[in-house]
Amino acid sequence: MSRFEQGTIIGERYAIDSYINEGGMQYVYKAHDRLLDRYVALKTPKNSSATKRFKQSAILSAKVNHHNIAKTLDYVRDGEDRYLIEELIDGTDLQQALLSRAQFIDPHLAARIFNYLAKGLAAAHHANVVHRDLKPTNIMVTGKHSLTSIKITDFGIATMAKDELVEAIEGGDSTLSMSQTAVGALPYMAPEAIESPRTVSAAADIWSIGAMFYQLITGALPFGNGLKAVQRIMNVDITPPPAFVLSNPQFRPLAESLLSISLSCLKKNPKDRPTADSLVSACSRLCYATAQRHEGQINNFLHKAWGFISQEENNVFFHKESVYGPNPIKIGAHVNFSKYDGGGSFRAHPVLIYDDQPE
């Protein structure tokens, strides 16, 4: 299917505004709902073989209504084509918003994201809807670095994801390596999803969210990526966390709790994993910073102990113990942080140094 031109009318109601992106199975457009005068996300399958599954996926996803899940608004048939209409999220995915600039994130930010996603996942599981393809690119955030809202997306293609993953896995290594959906999902895929992909349950989503948050905290995929990850997943051979995760006393208690929760999700037997409701309870007991996140640049670092961050027209004080991770503290480094009132200057904590530092 070729891309739609701006102004194309779908189902006598939706006018194509612009192309957004594409996933393994679908094209995504920004469209104007002419009836309700609002902008929506319009999704359409990339190939005709997926068309028949689109309606079933729409019915499933429409059952879920939660503020941490992108809402399914409509299903449209126009001739032989099918379209899924979803809430338009004015943001980008977690991969682009943060992980493209930081290999890992600090425990405070990770806990905040974990809490929201656990709640969204619990709502889906209460409606008997399994996502099957949870990964950073299916987590949408608004506000860029400040993460003003967090939503799981693409529940609407759950059935399509299932069928493509089944076909890829049963087709063997060559088919698996050629499936864009399977390649992206593999690092987060539960053992039973590889072994018996037709019968996965909600517990597979729990494994995926555990793998994702292990990556967010440590900067490492728990089982690596590509086909070489399969054997490690089946053996639950988890990459040990790097030393920095637990080395800083300022972050150790929260990091330990997050690692423990993540590892509890990565049990080979699905029955040994927590439920989404249990994850919500575990996250509610975490103590983490909820203040707005900001971006800035380090403009001063004195005595290898403390310095200042330029943020808009302010200088924000920070201490090296408030910096998470091994990235070097240097003048000009781009950082993500929360700030609080201090003596004379705002004080930053936690501070996350981005990977894209000046030479």
CA dihedral (75, 83, 161, 111) in degrees, to 10, reads -70
Q: What is the mean pLDDT of residues 49-63?
A: 76
Closest CA to 187 of 266, 100, 122, 270: 266
Q: Are the C-beta atoms of residues 157 and 57 closer than 8 Å to each other?
A: yes
Q: At a CB cut-off of 8 Å and minimum separation 6, what does 164 contact?
A: 24, 25, 50, 179, 181, 182
- Whether residue 166 has pLDDT greater than 70: no
In the structure, what pLDDT confidence band is assigned to residue 334 with cuts at 50, 70 and 90?
very high
| Collapsed DSSP state (helix, strand, coil) of residue 310 | strand
Are 9-87 and 293-353 equal in CATH topology?
Answer: no
Q: Would the pLDDT of 128 be above 50?
A: yes
Q: How confident is the model at residue 176 (pLDDT cuts 50, 70, 90)?
A: very low
The encoded tokens of residue 50 equal 């997926």
Is it the case that residue 175 has pLDDT exceeding 80? no
CATH of domain 9-87: 3.30.200.20
Most confident of 74-88, 168-182, 318-332: 318-332
| Class of residue 335 by CB neighbours under 10 A (exposed 0-12, middle 13-18, buried 19+) | buried
Average pLDDT in the 117-124 region?
97
Q: Which CATH superfamily is domain 91-284 in?
A: Transferase(Phosphotransferase) domain 1 (1.10.510.10)
The mean pLDDT of 5-14, rounded to a whole number, is 96
Number of H helices, E strands in the chain: 12, 15
The domain spans of the chain are: 9-87, 91-284, 293-353
State percent of the chain over pLDDT 70.
89
Mean pLDDT, the chain, whole residue set: 89
Confidence of residue 178 (pLDDT cuts 50, 70, 90): very low
Give dist(CA 140, CA 55) in Å, integer. Answer: 23
| pTM score of the predicted model | 0.90
Query: How confident is the model at residue 156, as a pLDDT?
Result: 57
Position 222 pLDDT exceeds 50: yes
Sign of the CA dihedral with 250 first, then 252, 257, and 259 last: positive
Phi, psi (rounded to 5 degrees) for 258: -65, -40
Given a cut of 80, whether residue 358 has pLDDT beyond it is: no
CATH superfamily ID and name for 293-353? Nucleic acid-binding proteins (2.40.50.140)
